[in-house]
C-alpha cells in the first residue's frame, strides 16, 4: 500500500509555493492551546503520521521533520519510517531546535507560515524576535494545512452538561465574583479566557469535545461590571441550561463570533488576557487603541488550589479508584496463573471494566499505558490491535492509567512483576522508588517551587549515573484535565517561571527510568500540598499522598532501601489497607492483604 504521507507533504509544498512561503510550521495546538486536540485540529498528525501528544512539524522545499522530546523518540522513529519525514530530537545537546534550524537553513527575505489559530501571542513574539534577526518574516494569516486537508473532521458536537454544585463546591456566582475582584485589581474592564479547563471551571460546566478531558470548545469574555459571554455552539446546550446560565449573568453567543465581539471593544476598554493562553488569530480582532493587560488567567491560579470540599471528594474518589485497580490487578494475576493468554490490550480492558463499575465514573483521564518489558521503556506508549505485546510470566509490566469521576481526576502508575525478575530490573525499580519516597517525604518552605524540589526525586538515579527525560510532577485538575498548571515539578529552565507550591495544589510524583529494548520503570502517586509546620524560619509545607493502591514489592530489592524508606513504604501500605479493605471482600481483600503486608 502506498504511504499517504509523502503525497500530503507534496500538497503542502504546492500550497507553500502558491503563497510564496519558504517554510510551514505545524504545531500541536488548537485555538485554545490545548494539550490534547479534537480531530479537527490534529493537522500535524495528519501530515506526518506521528501520533504523539507533543511535537511540531516543519516543512521546507527540501526538508520535512518532526521535532519532539525524549518521551517520543522511539515512537516517532517507528511512525515516521518510510514517510520522508525525519525525527528531529528536542532538548538534546548539539541538536538544533526548530527555530535555530530555520535560522540556519532559510535566507533573509524568506517567509515562515504558521496558522494563527494554533499559535499563542507569546510564541508569535518569540518567533518574530528570533527569526527577525535573520531577516525571516512570519505570516499567521495562512492555514496551509487546512487548505489541503480534503476531509478534515468537523468540530465536535458533544453536549455540555452542568457539574452539580454538590461536586463543584463553589457556585458560578462565587467564582465570577472572585474573578472580577482580580480584574478590578488590574483595572481591566474585560477578561478573555480561551483555555478550555479555565472556561469549564469558571462556568461549572463539563463536556467531552476532547478525548479523556471533560471540557468543551468555548471562549469566555467577562465584563468587570456586567455580563459574561460564553462563545459556544448553542446546539450543545439544553434550553434549561441556557436559562440557568442567564440567571447567573452568562449569555450565549456563537462559537465563531468571538472576533466580532472583540472588535467592538473601544478606547475606554482594557482587556486582560494571558499571552500564553490566547492565540494570535483572536487578538488580531482587538483594535490597537484598546488597552491590553497581560497576565496569567486568575482562574488558573484559583483552580490549582483545591478547596476543602473538593479534596473531600477527591479522597473518596481515590478509595474507589484504588479498589478498582486492586480488582483489576488481582484478576490479571489469576488469569496469568491459570495459563490464559493476556496482552497489553487486556490490561486496558480490565482497568476500564473495573473503573466503570465505580460510582460516578465518567471515563478515562487519558489513554492507558500498559507496556510490557521493552514497551515499558516508551514513556507514552499505547498498545494497539496492530502492535502490542503478549504478557509472559516473567519480567515487568508498567501500567499508567487514570479515571475521570464527578468528584475528581486520578492518575497512577504501578510496575507489576509478572514472575521472576532480574537483579537489574529490581535494582532499577528500587532506585526509582527511593526517588519517589524522597520527594514524597519532603518538607519545604513557603514559596518553594517545583523546580527547586525536582532533584530530590532524581538524586538516587544520579548517584548511579542514570536519569529520566521527563518532568517529575504535573498539576492535576478537579474532574478536569489530567495535566494542569501553573505548578510543575521539573528541572529548572532558563527564563522559566518559578510557581510557588501552595496548599491545596495537587501534583503527580512520578520519577522514572527507561532502558530502550529492555524495560521501563515509573512509580506515580498524586499528592496534595499541605501545611506542615511553622518555625522561627517561617512556614513549611509537605505532601500528603492521595493515591491509594499497593506497589508491587516483588519488583523491588528491599535491601537497597534505608530503614526510613522501608518505614515510609510500610506506613503507606498500612494506610492503603485501612482505606481499601472496607470496599473489598474475598479474593480481592486477600490480594490487598498480601500486597500491603510489611516488608
- Both 54 and 137 in one domain: the answer is yes
* One domain for residues 256 and 277: yes
- For residue 155, being part of any structural domain is answered with no
| pLDDT score recorded for residue 249 | 97
Q: What pairs with residue 543 in β-bridges? A: 529
Cell numbers standing for residue 491: 528541572
The DSSP bridge partners found for residue 484 are 475
Read off the DSSP letter of residue 534.
E
Which pTM value belongs to this model? 0.93
Rg, C-alpha atoms of the chain: 25
What pLDDT, on the 0 to 100 scale, is given for residue 32? 96
Strands 161-162 and 190-193, sheet pairing: unpaired
Regarding whether 195 and 339 lie in a shared domain, the answer is no
Q: Is residue 542 packed enough to be buried (19+ CB in 10 Å), middle (13-18) or exposed (0-12)?
A: middle
Question: Tell me, what's the pLDDT at 1?
Answer: 60
**Three-state secondary structure of 208-276:** CCECCECCCCCEEEEECCCCEEEECCHHHCCHHHHHHHHHCCEEEECHHHHHHHHHCCCCCCEEEECCC
471 and 590 belong to one structural domain: yes
| Interatomic CA distance for residues 140 and 128, integer angstroms | 11
Contact present, 523 and 415 (Cβ < 8 Å): yes
Annotate 383-407 with DSSP letters as a single string: --SSS-PBP-SSSEEEEEE-EEETT
Please tell me whether residues 34 and 60 are part of one structural domain: yes
Q: Per the domain annotation, does 152 fall within a domain?
A: no
Range of the domain at 350: 308-595
pLDDT tens over the chain, length 599 residues: 678 999 999 999 999 999 999 999 999 999 999 988 999 999 999 999 999 888 999 999 999 999 998 778 878 888 998 999 999 988 887 788 899 999 999 999 999 999 999 999 999 999 999 999 999 999 999 999 999 999 999 999 999 999 999 999 899 999 999 999 999 999 999 999 999 999 999 999 999 999 999 999 999 999 999 899 999 999 999 999 999 999 999 999 999 999 999 999 999 999 999 999 999 999 999 999 999 999 999 999 999 999 999 999 999 999 999 999 999 999 999 999 999 999 999 999 999 999 999 999 999 999 999 999 999 998 888 888 888 999 999 999 999 999 999 999 999 999 999 999 999 999 999 999 999 999 999 999 999 999 999 999 999 999 999 999 899 999 999 999 999 999 999 999 877 788 999 999 999 999 999 999 999 999 999 999 999 999 999 999 999 999 999 999 999 999 999 999 999 999 999 999 999 999 999 999 999 999 999 99
Among 278, 297, 316, where does a domain finish?
297
In a domain, 140, yes or no: yes
Q: Which residue has the cell 463499575?
A: 357
For 330, the grid coordinates are 488481582
Q: Are 516 and 377 in contact (CB under 8 A)?
A: yes
| Residue 156 grid cell | 465536535
Residue 405 has a pLDDT of: 98
- Which sign does the torsion angle of CA 307, 309, 312, 314 carry? negative
Q: With the CA atoms of 85, 87, 90 and 92 taken in that order, what torsion angle do they form, in degrees rounded to the nearest 10? A: -140
Nearest to 180 by CA among 206, 202, 165, 197: 202
C-alpha cell at 442: 519532603
Residue 73 shares a structural domain with residue 182: no
**Alpha carbon distance 165, 593 (integer Å):** 37
C-alpha distances (whole Å) from 460 to each of 428, 433, 435, 488, 568 are: 10, 9, 6, 20, 16
Number of folded domains in the chain? 3
What angle, 0 to 180 degrees and rounded to 10, lies between the N-to-C axes of helices 121-132 and 98-105? Answer: 30
Same domain as 121, residue 14: yes
What stretch of H or E contains 87?
strand 86-89
Structure confidence at residue 30 (pLDDT):
95
303: in domain: no
Residues 48 and 91 in one domain: yes
pLDDT of residue 92: 80
3-class secondary-structure state, position 556: coil
Instruction: Identify whether residues 437 and 543 lie together within a single domain.
Output: yes
In a domain, 252, yes or no: yes
Last residue of a domain, one of 147, 169, 190: 147
Out of 266, 297, 328, pick the residue that ends a domain: 297
Distances (CA, A) of 177 to 163, 170, 171, 204, 298: 19, 11, 10, 14, 12
Is residue 271 within 8 Å of 292, Cβ to Cβ? yes
To the nearest 10°, report the CA torsion of 510, 504, 481, 201.
180
Dihedral pair phi/psi, residue 277, rounded to 5°: -125, 10
Q: 406 has which bridge partners?
A: none
Kindly state whether residue 203 falls inside one of the protein's structural domains: yes
Residue 443 shares a structural domain with residue 340: yes
Residue 117 lies in a domain: yes
Distance CA 472, CA 510 (A): 5
CATH number of the domain enclosing 244: 3.40.350.10
Instruction: Indicate whether 31 belongs to any domain.
Output: yes
Q: So what's the pLDDT on residue 488?
A: 96
Q: Which residue has the cell 486582560?
A: 272
Please tell me whether residues 210 and 348 are part of one structural domain: no
Please report the pLDDT score of residue 304 as a whole number: 97
What is the CATH classification number for the domain harbouring 543? 3.90.230.10
Residue 410 CA to residue 197 CA, distance in Å, equals 16
Alpha helices (runs of H) in 518-562, residue ranges in sequence order: none
pLDDT score recorded for residue 378: 86
Retrieve residue 229's grid coordinates: 459571554
- DSSP letter, residue 155: P
**Set of cell numbers at residue 73:** 523518540
Dihedral, 252, 256, 257, 263 alpha carbons, nearest 10:
140
Are 364 and 499 contained in the same domain? Answer: yes
Amino acid at each position: 500500500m502506498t504511504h499517504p504521507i509523502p503525497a500530503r507533504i507534496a500538497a503542502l509544498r504546492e500550497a507553500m509555493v502558491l503563497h510564496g512561503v519558504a517554510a510551514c510550521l505545524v504545531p500541536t495546538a488548537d485555538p485554545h492551546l490545548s494539550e490534547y486536540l479534537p480531530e479537527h485540529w490534529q493537522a500535524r498528525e495528519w501530515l506526518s503520521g506521528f501520533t504523539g501528544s507533543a511535537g511540531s512539524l516543519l516543512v521546507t522545499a527540501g526538508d520535512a521533520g518532526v521535532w519532539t522530546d525524549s518521551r517520543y523518540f522511539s515512537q516517532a522513529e517507528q511512525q515516521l519510517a518510510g514517510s520522508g519525514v525525519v525525527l528531529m530530537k528536542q532538548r538534546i545537546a548539539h541538536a538544533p531546535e526548530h527555530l535555530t534550524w530555520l535560522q540556519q537553513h532559510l535566507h533573509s527575505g524568506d517567509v515562515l507560515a504558521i496558522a494563527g489559530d494554533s499559535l499563542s501571542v507569546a510564541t508569535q513574539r518569540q518567533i518574530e524576535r528570533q527569526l527577525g534577526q535573520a531577516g525571516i518574516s512570519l505570516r499567521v494569516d495562512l492555514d496551509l494545512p487546512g487548505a489541503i486537508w480534503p476531509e478534515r473532521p468537523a468540530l465536535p458536537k458533544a453536549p455540555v452538561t452542568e457539574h452539580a454544585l454538590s461536586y463543584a463546591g463553589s457556585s458560578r456566582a462565587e467564582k465570577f465574583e472572585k474573578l472580577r475582584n482580580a480584574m478590578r485589581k488590574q483595572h481591566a474592564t474585560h477578561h478573555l479566557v480561551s483555555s478550555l479547563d479555565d472556561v469549564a471551571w469558571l462556568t461549572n460546566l463539563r463536556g467531552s469535545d476532547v478525548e479523556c478531558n471533560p471540557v468543551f470548545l468555548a471562549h469566555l469574555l467577562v465584563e468587570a461590571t456586567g455580563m459574561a459571554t460564553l462563545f459556544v455552539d448553542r446546539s450543545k446546550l439544553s434550553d434549561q441550561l441556557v436559562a440557568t446560565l442567564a440567571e447567573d449573568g452568562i449569555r450565549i453567543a456563537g462559537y465563531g463570533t468571538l472576533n466580532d465581539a472583540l472588535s467592538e471593544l473601544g478606547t475606554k476598554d482594557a482587556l486582560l488576557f494571558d499571552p500564553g493562553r490566547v492565540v494570535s488569530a483572536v487578538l488580531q480582532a482587538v483594535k490597537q487603541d484598546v488597552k491590553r493587560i497581560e497576565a496569567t488567567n486568575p482562574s488558573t491560579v484559583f483552580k490549582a488550589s483545591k478547596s476543602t470540599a473538593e479534596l473531600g471528594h477527591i479522597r473518596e474518589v481515590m478509595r474507589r479508584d484504588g479498589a478498582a485497580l486492586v480488582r483489576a490487578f488481582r484478576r490479571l494475576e489469576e488469569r496469568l496463573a491459570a495459563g490464559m493468554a493476556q496482552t497489553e490490550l487486556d490490561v486496558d480492558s480490565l482497568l476500564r471494566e473495573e473503573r466503570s463499575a465505580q460510582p460516578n465514573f465518567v471515563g478515562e483521564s487519558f489513554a492507558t499505558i500498559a507496556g510490557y518489558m521493552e514497551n515499558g521503556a516508551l514513556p507514552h506508549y499505547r498498545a494497539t490491535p496492530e502492535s502490542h505485546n503478549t504478557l509472559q510470566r516473567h519480567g515487568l509490566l508498567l501500567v499508567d492509567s487514570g479515571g475521570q469521576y464527578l468528584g475528581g481526576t486520578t492518575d497512577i502508575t504501578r510496575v507489576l512483576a509478572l514472575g521472576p525478575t532480574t537483579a537489574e530490573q529490581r535494582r532499577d525499580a528500587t532506585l526509582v522508588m527511593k526517588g519517589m519516597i524522597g520527594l514524597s517525604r519532603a518538607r519545604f518552605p513557603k514559596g518553594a517551587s517545583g523546580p527547586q524540589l525536582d532533584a530530590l526525586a532524581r538524586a538516587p538515579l544520579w548517584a548511579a549515573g542514570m536519569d529520566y527525560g521527563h518532568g517529575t510532577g504535573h498539576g492535576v485538575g478537579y474532574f478536569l484535565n489530567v495535566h494542569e498548571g501553573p505548578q510543575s515539578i521539573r528541572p529548572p529552565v532558563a527564563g522559566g517561571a518559578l510557581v510557588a507550591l501552595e496548599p491545596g495544589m495537587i501534583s503527580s510524583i512520578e520519577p522514572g527510568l527507561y532502558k530502550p529494548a529492555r524495560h521501563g520503570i515509573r512509580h506515580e502517586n498524586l499528592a496534595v500540598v499541605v501545611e506542615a509546620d511553622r518555625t522561627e524560619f517561617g512556614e513549611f509545607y509537605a505532601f500528603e499522598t492521595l493515591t491509594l493502591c499497593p506497589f508491587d514489592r516483588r519488583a523491588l530489592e528491599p535491601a537497597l532501601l534505608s530503614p526510613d524508606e522501608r518505614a515510609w513504604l510500610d506506613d503507606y501500605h498500612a494506610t492503603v489497607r485501612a482505606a481499601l479493605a472496607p470496599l473489598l471482600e474475598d479474593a480481592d481483600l486477600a490480594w490487598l492483604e498480601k500486597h500491603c503486608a510489611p516488608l
